[in-house]
Every structure is written in C-alpha cells, then in structure tokens.
Chain A
C-alpha cells in the first residue's frame, strides 16, 4: 500500500469528486502524512492569540499540523513562531505549554542558548567546534523560524512553505468574521481568558471540520441533549426566567426551517460560515450596559451592525473555527488519521461586562468539554463514522445536498443553510493545497 498517494497527483485528485469524497481522506495513513506535509504546510494555520504572550520572553508551545512550534514575543511589538527543537540533537526547548523564558531559550540537554528570534546565542565549550566548519552549517543558525507569520488583529497564523498564497489572498473576505469578533469589544481588543478545554477525539480531524456547517444534524444528533433541555424546562414554574444554560442548549433543537433560513456563506480557499441571517446565537438575552458601551465606542448605527451579525461557525480552512457572537475559537489538531485533539479557547471582550465572558465560559463548558453532553452526542457520531468507513461495500462519503454544477466558479456566495456546498468547498480547497507543487 505504501506509495499509493505520495507524489501521485492523479491518485490524490481522484479522492475528491464533485459530490463525493473517498473514505481514504479519513482513514489512510499515507494521506494523513501528506496532509501534514502538503495541506498544513501550504496553508495559513492558526498558531495562537497574541494575548497569550503579552510580555517579551512569553512563549506558547503548540503545533502546526504535527510539527512542534513555539510562539514567542521577541520584542514588545513583534511575535516570532519558531520550530520548537534544538539544532543540536533535536530536543524540544520548552517543557511547559506556556511561560516566560527570559531573554533566551536554553536547551536542557547541553545548554546551547538561543535569542528570542531563534538565533544561536551561545554554545558551551565552543572551541570544540573551531575549524569544523560549524559556522557554515544549519546548526549555527539556531532554531529555525517559521518564515511566514502574520498577526491579524491578535490572531497569529503561520505558513510553513514558501508555496501557497499570501495571507490576504488566502483569507480574502473571510477575515470579516475575525473582524466582527474583535469589534464586539468596545476597545476593539480580545484577550484569551477563562481556560482552554482539550478534548481527545478518536476520529479524523476533518470529521469535525465537516460538522461545523452540517446543519441537518443538530435536531437529530442533539435531540438527546437539546431536546431533553426543552422538555425539562417545560416543567419550570410559570414566569421563571430562562437560565443562560437553557438559552445556550435549546436552539440546538431548532427545526429544519430554522437552519435552512440561517444561510451559509462560501468563500474561496475552503473558508465559509453558517448563520448569515440568524443563528443559534441570535436570541441570547441582552447584557445590561453592554450595548451602551458599544454605542459610545462606535456610534449607534455601527454598534447595531456589529452586534447584528449572528455568524454561527466560521470555518478557517483547514482546521480552525471561530464563533464571533459567543467569542469562542476551536482548533482541531490532527494527531493521526484517526486521532484529533480538539482545543476550545474562550476570549474576553476587553472593556465589556464580565457577564459576556461568563456566558462564553459557560457555553464552552456546556458544549465543548470532555464532559459536555453536546460533545458526547457529536463524538459518538464521529467515532461511529470512523468505524463504519472501514467497510468497503461503499468507499464514498456523500456530500451532494443542494449541489449545483456551476457552484465551483461562484465566489463569496450565500446559499441555503442546509446546503453541503461548504463541505464541497473545503474539499475543493483540500485538493488544491494537497496537490500544490506536485
């Protein structure tokens, strides 16, 4: 089996048809390796938020695809993303997930040190390298920087390869969703807050990405959690104020018409979002004082426009999603073809009342935690899909709903909220970046 897909543009292209994708995109180990080498290297992948590293020397260790990297504040005004390995023997330079490293990274093995931009600062007993040509080798260059890094309004993305589009071309109009989330702060600033949830999933990372715009599943798969919430709340005393938690759970049980009407917007390069007209986030109670703060900051018309957006899930291809109205970001970290780490990050709208962060934190706990009933509903489906795909009676996954033959050429289009167009859009981008340069 080895070598079926590597370097084989034709075989890779054949995995994605107009309305079907081959199961190997979810199951095959070689395809997964190629995703790490091609897809996650040719695209702009989310690294972290700059509020995680506020002071010089602050670092945050994470991954781009399967590659360990470290995001570091190297000067008060700039952030670097470095490959997180020592050029000597490969040792990862950070132990903790985040912290402050001072003025240098210092390797725990033989104490080579590196400046915050990754350059080599010192080697003990350096004379041992005299006359060896050390200065001309790759080791002397220190920690290898990720060459393409962009901090967009606090959101730091990196691209490993020189190939692939520039940042602005890659994201295009989709940046409007990050803009909207940031603009919801009266000061135009977000901060990571409230703790990040990490949930292990025994499924392919794309099952989660596909699910983000899958609006025909909530009323079925989440009947158990959202439907039960609606039932239990029916026996609340008359006139009782609906708790925040019920406001969060109940809309998952909305009928098909609700999701049809909410709409999906499809952008180039695999990006897109649900919730054009309204969404499950539309009817949360107003937080006292917040609208007034927004009007003071932006004027009434603009404040209304900002808060009037109900964008549900915005997919930033390949593996991150934001929810502007509830200030959450979820990152689907690929571990193996059948293993994904889901991280859910909450943001504080700087300058806004704490109640907004309270709601964000509650939403995160109720929907994204390893203990979340909504999370249990979804993971059960992903794991059953991962298992079911092993059967070879039918090797194709269907993504045909509301397909139209002319859609691939249409840009920034809005469509029926139950369309699988955005899934097709993701797979068109998948093929593009998987085969780039082949």
Chain B
C-alpha cells in the first residue's frame, strides 16, 4: 500500500479534473471515477436524496459514458456547432480526510462558462469531491455540483460543470 495522498495531491487532483473537462479529454476524465462513482448536480439547495427527489444530473459511470459517446456522435445535432467550457476554480480546500478509510472530501467554489455558437452562459457553483484511492491512485466516489441557481429555470447545460 502506497502512502496516503497529501493535501497537495488532493488539490492537484481537483484542478487536474477541471482541466481535463476544459480540454474535453472526456475519456480520460471518465477514468478518474471509481467504478461506483457518481456525478451529481442537485435540483434543490441542500438536497440530500438523489433517488426520490429529481436532480439536474445524477449519473453513474454507464450514464456518463453514454453522455460522452453521444457528444462524439455524428448525429448529435445539438453539438453542431460544438459546445466549449471553461472552469475558474478557487483553491480547493480539504474539508475531511480519513486515511484509514481512504476517504477525502474537498470543497471548491468555481465559476463555469459554457459556450456554443454566439451564446455564452455563466454558472456559479460549489463543488464537493468525495475522493478515495483505488490501488493507490485517487478516484472520484462522488462529484457533487451545487449550482447557486440550481432551482432556477435554466437553459441547456450540455457539458460538465
């Protein structure tokens, strides 16, 4: 068993994850998730249940893979022209760490911009990463994205915050 990750490594992981999204290296990005990992954008502020309350997104690796494959597809008309995205992160803070259980939680306020054609939309979010290590490598158990306006009437978000 390798040494537990340092705070610095946790922070670098979160920053790297956003970079993969900005560069649309989505297969690499999906590889950051543990097999049972989830990506979650709650619908309600402070939402605790993803099962019986709906969400903007609550996706396991299979659904994320479908999404990523769809973005590559030729018949994906909503990606013609393609969207681009841009993340601006505050320095992630390590909120919790449990080396025994390999459980780490970081908190990262961010601005997210998605653009397509002549349109550009700005979102603000607090992002919580629940990380673990698999064979000594950091992996995402849960990436939770709390948009400040999660309960507003929104337009399309086609990429990943």
Contact = CB atoms under 8 A, between A and B. Distances in A.
Contact of A371 (B56, B62, B70, B77): B56
A162 interface: no
A371 B57 contact: yes
Interface string A221-249: 10111011101110000000001011001
Interface of B: 41, 43-44, 51-58, 62-63, 65-67, 69-70, 73, 75-78, 152-158
B53 A361 contact: yes
Contacts of B63: 245, 366
A369 interface: yes
A365 B57 CA distance: 7
Contacts of B158: 371, 376
Contact of B54 (A225, A354, A361): A361
Contacts of A197: 43, 54, 56
A200 B154 contact: yes
A233 B155 CA distance: 29
Contacts of B153: 198-200, 341
B52 A193 contact: yes
A225 B70 contact: yes
A371 B73 contact: no
A380 interface: yes
Q: What is the size category of the interface that chain A forms with chain B?
A: 35 or more
Nearest to B152: A198
Nearest to B77: A380
A224 B53 contact: no
5 contacts: A220-B75, A228-B69, A243-B62, A370-B56, A373-B66
The 7 closest A-B pairs by CB, nearest first: A380-B78, A198-B153, A224-B76, A376-B78, A370-B154, A361-B54, A223-B75
Contact of A369 (B54, B66, B76): B54
A358 interface: yes
Contacts of B51: 358, 361
Contacts of B155: 199-200, 202, 370
A249 B77 contact: no
Contacts of A223: 73, 75
Nearest to A348: B52
A364 B53 CA distance: 10
A129 B56 CA distance: 52
Contacts of B56: 197, 365, 369-371
Given A195-B44, A198-B152, A198-B154, A361 B78 contact: no
